Structure 1
């Protein structure tokens, strides 16, 4: 049974207008350069966008959560525009989502295919080294990529990451929100209609539970607009999630030699802090920072602290 269908996606996504896509640079109050493009591969053309210039600094490549979601859910925050003042910040859409469509008929929807796409993106953009920041499910994808291509990793940031094995992720929804989970299970019982509206309602219920602050939650909802703007690709989520649940990269963690930072919201019900702590313990020399007033999205609920912590790590500070 697919883990993500039981616990909701490990992230979210919005397929929105270009005006919203460039909003991080504008809302940060900075005149940050922005460009978008595509990297051609045999199976899919990968859509990407870049904030900032700074060609001398190692770029920060952000790997979004999901699976089955584009990167746009990350954008209703000033954090990325501020980070882009010092280095390029690169987003892309995983195959079958957002601007990375269509996918060639018969092409696989697997974790290995996503790793190959990430490497194709790195090569296509001509980046000898990258700093990866993996958010939620994107943390697992980043770990998988770093395991396959450690020579290209300058630094690794695991933000509310789904761990090194989806089967070991600790969720707290049932323990903390038994009433909401009962409603969700009722809505997903056999025979329930699988419509776009039902998927949006499920996503809304999920979002209601992943913030520390209800005020911050409502502010996020206001920024992303109606849930109809959220483009969850269920077929991609099911296929990639089923494959990813078979993978375990835990034995690889001990071989990581690049600096690693693990970030966790203290009140993250989707990926409990214990998951982050296990990553910190398994990766040699890894640092961990907890955000005491955050749930699953510390980059939104505590943006100033998040930016400061990430910038200090990227600058090599202890």
Structure 2
């Protein structure tokens, strides 16, 4: 029987919004959204996964949408959390809402794409279990130096303008280049991008500018269960070669280039994306 349950799970003064949905006995798929978006980028994906018998767990990052910034003022600032903290928080969330369950899949977009790879390094499936990993539009395995001035400029723009209205428009244009599918809901997409707070943006941007897992990729020993997915028209993450490089350094992994696609494949061309996802997941189960 299908179910839908949302919870607030507080970890280190962060009240995470968590949404567990789908067939109760279905294999569990974890979905991690991009910076400056929220769990709703997966709405179309989730519906398709449920129809295919999967159960889904998604949540909002720190200071994004329904997860407010940390209640502790000392923790509500850049530098207090890094990607390993985010993975540790996710591990607690999974243990809380689905104790004893090995995820059938981890699917992440942008920083979510980094987090699914890092989570798989830190918390690999136990012997005899399989977790498929799909990393979409991730900025490689280390912070890109060329991107750091851009991040800093965007934070300053937000502060100087006293809001994120213009930044939201610019982000949308980077994320969703033409052509857009017929019937694409631009207003909904803009509302999702706008749902991030400045505090959450700064916290996640700091983590994005300060990570390097290139020396630890060898911790993933089941490359055949990993997919690296890139959008052909993604101008947000820098050189596409960084994604090809991750694929080439991970023996057995699969690389997919989605034609005509920007930075958020599950929203830009959802049907195409879901076809790729379901084909890759196959009969994975937790």
TM-score when scaled to structure 1? 0.73
Q: Deviations over 1:91-125 (max 9, x none)?
A: 11123333333523123333232122111111102
Q: In the alignment, which residue of structure 1 is the partner of 2:250?
A: 283
Alpha-carbon contact 2:135-2:228 (below 8 Å) kept: yes
Q: Distance in 2 between matches of 1:151 and 1:255?
A: 12
Deviation at 1:230, TM superposition (A): 1.6
Judging changes above 3 Å, is the alpha-carbon distance between structure 1 residues 296 and 192 closer, same or farther for their aligned structure 2 residues?
Answer: closer
- Structure 2 spans left out of the alignment, 5+ residues: none
Please tell me whether residue 129 in structure 1 is matched to residue 106 in structure 2: no
Of 260, 276, 281, the residue aligned with 2:226 is 260
Q: Distance in 1 between matches of 2:273 and 2:93?
A: 26
Q: In the alignment, which residue of structure 2 is the partner of 1:178?
A: none
Of 86, 89, 93, the residue aligned with 1:117 is 89
Deviation at 1:143, TM superposition (A): 2.3
Deviation at 1:216, TM superposition (A): 3.8
Judging changes above 3 Å, is the alpha-carbon distance between structure 1 residues 109 and 255 closer, same or farther for their aligned structure 2 residues?
Answer: closer
Of 202, 205, 208, the residue aligned with 2:167 is 202
Alpha-carbon contact 1:34-1:51 (below 8 Å) kept: yes
Residues 1-318 of structure 1 aligned to structure 2 (within 5 Å) = 33-57=3-27, 59-66=28-35, 69-72=37-40, 74-75=41-42, 78-85=44-51, 86-101=53-68, 103-105=70-72, 106-107=74-75, 108-125=80-97, 126-130=99-103, 131-151=105-125, 154-167=131-144, 193-196=160-163, 199-216=164-181, 219-224=184-189, 230-258=194-222, 259-271=225-237, 272-315=239-282
Judging changes above 3 Å, is the alpha-carbon distance between structure 1 residues 299 and 244 closer, same or farther for their aligned structure 2 residues?
Answer: closer
Q: Distance in 2 between matches of 1:32 and 1:204?
A: 37
Q: Deviations over 1:273-310 (max 9, x none)?
A: 32221111121211011111211122223222211111
Q: Deviations over 1:16-62 (max 9, x none)?
A: xxxxxxxxxxxxxxx964321122434223211123115242x1101
Judging changes above 3 Å, is the alpha-carbon distance between structure 1 residues 170 and 54 closer, same or farther for their aligned structure 2 residues?
Answer: farther
Q: Distance in 1 between matches of 2:167 and 2:258?
A: 26
Alpha-carbon contact 1:170-1:275 (below 8 Å) kept: no
Q: Distance in 2 between matches of 1:132 and 1:224?
A: 23
Q: In the alignment, which residue of structure 2 is the partner of 1:23?
A: none
- Structure 1 spans left out of the alignment, 5+ residues: 1-30, 172-180
Give the root-mean-square deviation of aligned CA atoms.
3.2
**Alignment partner of 1:165: what SS?**
coil
Judging changes above 3 Å, is the alpha-carbon distance between structure 1 residues 195 and 115 closer, same or farther for their aligned structure 2 residues?
Answer: same
